[in-house]
A and B are shown apart, each in its own frame.
Chain A
Amino acid sequence: MPQLTLFYRLILRPMLREPGRTLLMVIAIAVGASVVLAIDLASEAAAGSFHSSMESFSGDNDLELTAVGGVDERCVGLLDTQPEPRRVTPRIEEYARIVQDGETVPLIGLDLVAEAGRYAKEPAQLLPNGWNPFSPAGKQDGAMAIWVTADLGFKADDQVELQINDTRTLFRVAGVLPASAPSGTSAILMDIADAQQVTGRRGTVDRILLKIPPGESMEQWQSRLGKLLPAGVSIQPQGTKTAANRKMLSAFRWNLRILSYVALLVGAFLIYNTISVSVARRRPEIGTLRALGASRLLLLGAFLAEAFALGLAGTLCAIPLGRLLATFTVRMLSLTINMLYVSSTAGGLHLSASTLLLVFVSGIGVSLLAAFAPAREASLVAPTEAMARGARDHDVQQARRQLGWYSLASGAIALLLSFLPPLAGKPIGGYAATLFLVAAAALLMPLVVHGSMRATSGVLQRLFGIEALLAARSLSGSLRRTAVLVAALATAVAMMTSVAIMVGSFRQTVLLWMDKELPADLYLRASGTAATDRHPQIAPALAAKIASLPGVLAVTRFYAFESDYQGLPVSIAAIDTNAPESGRDAGFFSGRTSGQVLRELEEPGTVTISEPFAYKHSLRAGDSILLPLGSTVARLRIIDVFYDYGNEHGYLVMSRKNMLQYLPTLPTSNLAVYLQPGAKTEAVRHAVQQAIGGQEVVVLTNAELRREAVRIFDQTFTITYALEAIAVLVAIMGVAGALVSIVLDRRREFGLLRFLGASSAQIKKMILYESACIGLLSSIAGLCLGYLLSLLLIFVINRQSFGWTIRFHWPLPVLSAALGTVLLATVLAALYPARIAQGLNPIDVIHEE
């Protein structure tokens, strides 16, 4: 195999002779590809195979019946009395907090008598200690029976204290269900009657699952049942809600996936740089090979093979690394999804064939793609031009103006793309604009590096000496090597900057929004972990009790139901309209005060909607919507739209008084307490706590609630920062690798300088200055590019993905710290190449010529 011999001698052997540089490149690809793998695995586990916690023990059914405020339990009887044979499974669905360890798990109420026959076919371990888990055990010693999944760590006969809504109750474990229970998640089961009692769902159930007989289609059944059941009952195929949640999560997954490709994009720049430098360095060798009869195809193949080898090695390292990263990532993603979207449990990490394919395509494909241009260039080397050392750099210098025009064109395309509307709900134009903007910046780099170094070399020399001048001149004189390097690091810095600006702006917007949205002095909710789709109830009488306390001006109640509107999830909330008028802009699109909007909201058939809901469904003030509520379908007029950042799928808010017309037993989940002027917050808080008595309700001051919200916000965006930090890490490793290449390529120059009287310390200084210049240029260019990218992120990608209006804000402390770290890390990355340069023997390198 002469080709293999040539590949070994011409490609592999030189790579092995420079193990440090090769290793750095492999690590850069490995880290880039492992991030892609980790995010793919983790987002698939946390969001892709999304399974609501409430799907536990839902079994194999065809239709599900739901209604805002619960389905009247008489519907169960109505369905059961129909002539056709069918299976009707009513459910109570709630969350319970295990007091012992604070864990919150789904609590499912099932008709265990009716269901016993079905589950009796389950494996024998369902029947520990001779208990039949699906035969209600009834109360023994005053404790109701529950069945728990094995992973919760209880055994039969254990006593378990659960907090359901704001009340603690003692239960007895009647049986343990296998860990691999139907949904694969932790759950607590109890009889539906007990569940209705402990959750306060008197006369209603949360969902009715229906198994229809074969024959008629689901649509026919939906139509028939629609006529039979009250108008407010929604009849959908089972899993509709899960599908709606998946749809909602897809934007989140998309953005996450795009972010994960940043590290790989930076890796691509570095591969391009490595192969490009390799080609430039070996032009005489390539020319000689051409003169000796090597075909263009052979040379193209040889350099592509180098990229393939780097890509393959990196990808193979990426698989275990990515798997490891995914175990940490999945926890963070799960947390974010639970906080922002819906209570769910992450599935296991499964390394499927498609995921493996993705990693190989990412690692190797990107390497090959990045290497194609320099490999092609190698294949075009003519034997006669082979000895023209430095000619290529000269070419780049000549071409930099032309590249500047290309950059301008690319920037213009980016601008045009940013105006495109979303395609299939995804900001495709925004993503493409991002790529074009990055390309524009990369194309501009030769001009930027050359111009800036030429302009500042004199100043640098005066400030830092001849070493700084040499470093600056080397950067501007070797654009082929340095422009790509600066572009790679600038891209990473830009991504980091843009995300920091976007998150910082978002954070600032949320802080400002909280000023408007949280006007009360004290807030009450049931204790336990808060989640966007959980609304644990508190005792209805508490509001009146607190309102009568001295120092209290007013108390408003809040409750929300999770429902869906046109196939997308939505929260439907009811609020009291007696909040004191603050007289300030309360965050409504109309600019009206909260008092003005609340007064209008008291009119029957009115609703306000949040911005994300308005954006997703293209609604605005004045529009009307049809909404199933209780046993009817209400026509509601939108009176205003409000900014909201607490819930991505959106809110529909009605006055409590109007909601009571549809749902007469409207519970309460939160209270807002307004104090009289001059009242002491701590004193009233103490009185409120006294009034609460033994109920599990927490009282938070306005400041505490804000702090909690900011903590959750910061926690949510940790992964975003982590992804960007990894991209920067890849870039810095790439800088170290590329500097090694530069040092080896310029060994003659370093040798010469030693002959001319330079000390090894001066050589080291020169490399460090060069690296510092790369870091500084990249940081400045990255900051500029990052600013533009942040505009795309905030005003195009975020807007089209989530529908939020974010006000632009410079997070100066975060940016300064990040850029300072990048600069320091770049200089530190140069220590190894500087050591190599110091160790070069000037006699050897000068006589190589």
Chain B
Amino acid sequence: MQAVLEIKGVTKEYSTEGGKVRALDNFSLRVGRGTFVALVGRSGCGKSTLLNLAGAMDFPTSGEVRIEGASTTGLGEQQLTALRRSKIGFIFQSFQLLRTLSVVENVELPLLLSGVGAARARALERLESVGLAELAGRMPYQLSGGQMQRVAIARALVHSPALLLADEPTGNLDTTTGNAILALLHSLVRTEQATLLMATHSAEAAAIADCVIHLRDGRMDGTAAAKD
């Protein structure tokens, strides 16, 4: 079966004033459809770098990243943008909603950026799936943190991406709300058959994943722990 995400021997180095920093070191990973993967590790271990590479936002220094079989290496700006539009959805720790757009407008944004018509209906459908259809007309500042993250999830899923990338999605939420968000993510991954790669510090979050990867200094610490 073709993997949704395949990372082969990826090394990522950044140049800083103090010299080169290796964020990922010969890292490999293969994730199949409908899998929920949790990336855990201390700050600076390479979680965010891995998400950026997986999201076609950045290129590896060496190695290869493939998303549904398509290698990001050698792609131009336009092709990377097209890849992100069709196959990837992002969820951020601080929600990152555009405060000038209403809830539904935020959700339909990826579709509109891709030039997709009938965006409103699909956006409302997504909002329905996260339980916020009745708040479609509100502005972000009128929502609670949990509601904002639900909107962000709806936005990430609106174009039915194969790969969902979440960076500390519960980091800015209290435990109860955070757990509700995790449950929602889990259920959506199941129903949508999307692949979720989630960076987290939270043990509760990692606990509901299908597979937990521990990162340490840019390498996998031990082996990926797959669960039943």
Residues of A within 8 A of B (CB): 390, 394, 461, 465-466, 469-470, 473-474, 476-478, 748-749, 752-760, 762, 842-843, 846-847, 849
Contacts and interface: CB of A to CB of B under 8 A. Distances in A.
Interface stretch (B29-37, B105-113, B204-212): B105-113
B99 A477 contact: yes
B84 A466 contact: no
A760 B101 CA distance: 20
Contact of A478 (B55, B81, B100, B114): B100
A756 B113 contact: yes
A843 B58 contact: yes
Contact of A390 (B48, B58, B77, B99): B99
Nearest to B114: A757
Q: Choose among B94, B105, B113 the residue with the greatest number of A CB atoms under 10 Å from its CB.
A: B113
Interface string B82-120: 001100001011101011110001000110111100000
B51 to A, nearest CB: 10
Contacts of A748: 96
Q: Choose among B58, B78, B84, B159 the residue with the greatest number of A CB atoms under 10 Å from its CB.
A: B84
Q: What are the 8 A-B residue pairs with the smallest beta carbon separation, nearest first?
A: A477-B100, A757-B85, A466-B112, A473-B100, A759-B81, A757-B113, A755-B90, A752-B96
Contacts of B92: 752, 755, 846, 849
A476 B77 CA distance: 30
Given A760-B77, A843-B52, A846-B92, A753 B100 contact: no
Contact of A752 (B98, B115, B159): B98
Contact of B141 (A394, A465, A466, A760): A394
A757 B81 CA distance: 6
A757 B58 CA distance: 14
21 contacts: A390-B141, A461-B112, A469-B105, A470-B100, A470-B101, A473-B101, A476-B100, A477-B99, A478-B100, A752-B92, A752-B96, A753-B109, A753-B113, A754-B57, A755-B55, A756-B110, A758-B81, A759-B78, A843-B58, A846-B96, A849-B94
Nearest to B97: A752
Nearest to B158: A756
Given A478-B100, A847-B48, A756 B55 contact: no
Contacts of A847: 48
Contacts of B100: 470, 473-474, 476-478
Interface size class of B (residues with CB under 8 A): 20 to 34
B150 interface: no
B155 interface: yes
Interface in B1-55: 48, 52, 55
Nearest to B58: A843
Interface of B: 48, 52, 55, 57-58, 77-78, 81, 84-85, 90, 92-94, 96, 98-101, 105, 109-110, 112-115, 141, 155, 159
Q: Choose among A469, A476, A756, A760 the residue with the greatest number of B CB atoms under 10 Å from its CB.
A: A756
Contacts of B101: 470, 473
B81 A756 contact: no
Contact of B84 (A474, A477, A755, A762): A755
Contacts of A843: 52, 57-58
B96 A757 contact: no
Contacts of A465: 112, 115
B98 A757 contact: no
A755 B78 CA distance: 13
A622 to B, nearest CB: 67
A760 B113 CA distance: 11
Contacts of A756: 84, 90, 109-110, 113, 155
A470 B48 CA distance: 28
A248 to B, nearest CB: 56
Given A466-B109, A752-B92, A757-B84, 15 more contacts: A390-B99, A461-B112, A465-B112, A466-B113, A470-B100, A473-B98, A476-B100, A477-B99, A753-B113, A756-B90, A757-B81, A757-B159, A758-B81, A759-B77, A760-B77
A849 B115 CA distance: 29
Contact of A842 (B48, B57, B99, B155): B57
A755 B48 CA distance: 13
A469 B120 CA distance: 14
A757 B141 contact: no
B85 A755 contact: no
Contacts of B48: 847
Contacts of A466: 109, 112-113
A451 to B, nearest CB: 15
A762 B110 CA distance: 12
Contacts of A473: 98, 100-101, 105
Nearest to B85: A757
Nearest to A473: B100
A756 B57 CA distance: 11
A474 B100 CA distance: 6
Nearest to A461: B112
Contacts of A760: 77, 81
A754 B93 CA distance: 17
Contacts of B159: 757
Contacts of B93: 849
A846 B91 CA distance: 12
A466 B108 CA distance: 10
Nearest to B51: A843
A394 B99 CA distance: 10
B200 to A, nearest CB: 16
A198 to B, nearest CB: 80
A749 B98 contact: yes
Contacts of B84: 755-757
A708 to B, nearest CB: 58
A843 B48 CA distance: 9
A846 B155 CA distance: 17
Contacts of A478: 100
Nearest to B112: A466
Nearest to A474: B100
A443 B105 CA distance: 30
A218 to B, nearest CB: 75
B113 A758 contact: yes
A753 B92 CA distance: 13
A749 B115 CA distance: 19
A755 B113 CA distance: 11
Nearest to A466: B112
Given A394-B141, A473-B100, A752-B98, A762 B113 contact: yes
Contacts of B96: 748, 752, 755, 846, 849
B184 to A, nearest CB: 20
Contacts of B112: 461, 465-466, 469
A477 B113 CA distance: 20
A749 B100 CA distance: 10
A753 B112 CA distance: 11
Q: Choose among A469, A759, A762 the residue with the greatest number of B CB atoms under 10 Å from its CB.
A: A759
A754 B85 CA distance: 10
A465 B119 CA distance: 12
A469 B114 CA distance: 14
Contacts of A842: 57
Contacts of B98: 470, 473, 749, 752
Contacts of A752: 92, 96, 98
Contacts of A470: 98, 100-101
B101 to A, nearest CB: 6
A295 B105 CA distance: 42
A752 B99 CA distance: 12
A390 B101 CA distance: 13
Given A390-B99, A846-B92, A757 B110 contact: yes
B213 to A, nearest CB: 20
Nearest to A847: B48
Contacts of B81: 754, 757-760
Contacts of B110: 756-757
A470 B112 CA distance: 11
